[in-house]
Amino acid sequence: MNSEYVDVDTKFIDEIIKHGGKDVKKCMQCAECSVVCPLSPDNNPFPRKEMIWAQWGLKDTLLKDPDIWLCHNCADCSKDCPRNAKPGSVLNAVREIAIEENSWPRFVAKGFGEKKYLPLFILFPVLFIALLIYGLGLKMPADGTIYFSNFIPYIYIDVIGTTIGVIIALIALFSLWRFWKSLTVTQKNKMNFFSALILVLKDIIAHSWFKKCETNHIRYYAHLFTFYGFIFLLVATATAAFEIHFLGVQHSLIGGPANIIGNVGAVVILTGIIIVIYNHVSNKVPKENTYFDWLFIFLLFFTAITGVTMEILRLDGSVFAYWTYLVHLTLIFMLIAYAPYSKFAHLIYRSIAMVYTRSIGRVPAI
């Protein structure tokens, strides 16, 4: 940017509006939002400065700004804005655009953020799984005790799942590396990466930043339950893999450790998602709910629901358990394969930005 002129990028302003930041033009720069924000540092606070950058269409400045990630969309600022603007939603829109811009390949990220391409993003895993079943000559059992490995042997799940996971992890790492480079371009670090990472992990474990929000405090519980439910489900998956590969268990056991941990995880994550949905539909909090948010909520919700349904049908001895298993696998595929472009990415980008801001001593004023 030239020091005397501002090149207004009107396309970027349109993009912000498209991503839910429709109030960007309402701001009159009173700075009330920066005063009330519970997460803003004293020095050079947000979100007033981001609001003016957004009005000016300063895309590069905003995308490199770590402060957009410190905002947890609590809406404390929206409640007090004299123009009824929602700065948290504007920053959320900028974050969605930042994920698109840093992701690789970028066209996948852009497509994933658009409702009209959703059928394609569903069709891909459906065709992938259908072709695998056909190609490997797998047959869905028509009767007998329900064991999912009688339909798709664990070895296929392991090999294919690990391959997809490694590819996606490499793509995500490349995108995050680009993001990290864009953040660190201007400032020198005061603390080394690992010390900052430990502090951020403590913040995440306690959800201490969400706790500071007042207007949208219910979000603290929504995130807490969803986060820990997800951790439980990861532990359940690892335990099931241990049972099968190291203890020689042929079929996942009802009532076994993996099953119990998985059931607890399902209850906890569903509780979190239900609070999230309630918070979104109750309209008690002045914030925009975007397609990007809803897509992730529904993916998590239906993954958990199909997981529970599979177990009930299995106990009942119904062969519909196998069909539910296929839907469950499709949803898991979508969660993993599209993670670098979804709200999952949002969580990782935010964590990385928090490591960076910790490393330069940029933390909330209170």
What's the gap between Cα 126 and its chain centre? Answer: 22
Instruction: Please tell me whether residue 353 binds ligand SF4 under the rule CB under 6 A.
Output: no
| Residue pair 268/232 in contact by the 8 Å Cβ criterion | yes
Instruction: Please tell me whether residue 102 binds ligand SF4 under the rule CB under 6 A.
Output: no
Residue 27 or 321 having the CB closest to ligand SF4 = 27
Instruction: Please tell me whether residue 94 binds ligand SF4 under the rule CB under 6 A.
Output: no
Instruction: Please tell me whether residue 326 binds ligand SF4 under the rule CB under 6 A.
Output: no
Among 54, 73, 232, 358, binds ligand SF4 (CB under 6 A): 73
Among 17, 30, 191, 249, binds ligand SF4 (CB under 6 A): 30
- In order, the DSSP letters of 199-260 are HHHHHHHHTHHHHT-STTTHHHHHHHHHHHHHHHHHHHHHHHHHHHHHS--SSPPTTSHHHH
Instruction: Please tell me whether residue 321 binds ligand SF4 under the rule CB under 6 A.
Output: no
Give least dist CB 288 to ligand SF4, A.
11
**Distance, CA of 78 to CA of 161 (rounded, Å):** 43
Helices assigned H by DSSP within 84-117: 87-102, 106-112
Instruction: Please tell me whether residue 152 binds ligand SF4 under the rule CB under 6 A.
Output: no
Instruction: Please tell me whether residue 77 binds ligand SF4 under the rule CB under 6 A.
Output: yes
**Distance, CA of 271 to CA of 299 (rounded, Å):** 15
Q: % helix / strand / coil in the chain, to the nearest 5?
A: 70, 0, 30
**Distance, CA of 214 to CA of 237 (rounded, Å):** 35
Instruction: Please tell me whether residue 324 binds ligand SF4 under the rule CB under 6 A.
Output: no
Among 7, 29, 169, 201, binds ligand SF4 (CB under 6 A): 29
Q: Which stretch binds ligand SF4 (CB under 6 A): 75-83, 110-118, 277-285, 320-328?
A: 75-83
Read off the DSSP letter of residue 290: -
Which residue lies nearest ligand SF4, judged by its C-beta? 88
Instruction: Please tell me whether residue 175 binds ligand SF4 under the rule CB under 6 A.
Output: no
Q: Which of 191, 172, 214 is nearest to 348 (CA)?
A: 172
Where does this chain bind ligand SF4 (CB under 6 A)? 27-33, 37, 39-40, 46-48, 51, 71-77, 81-83, 85, 87-88, 91
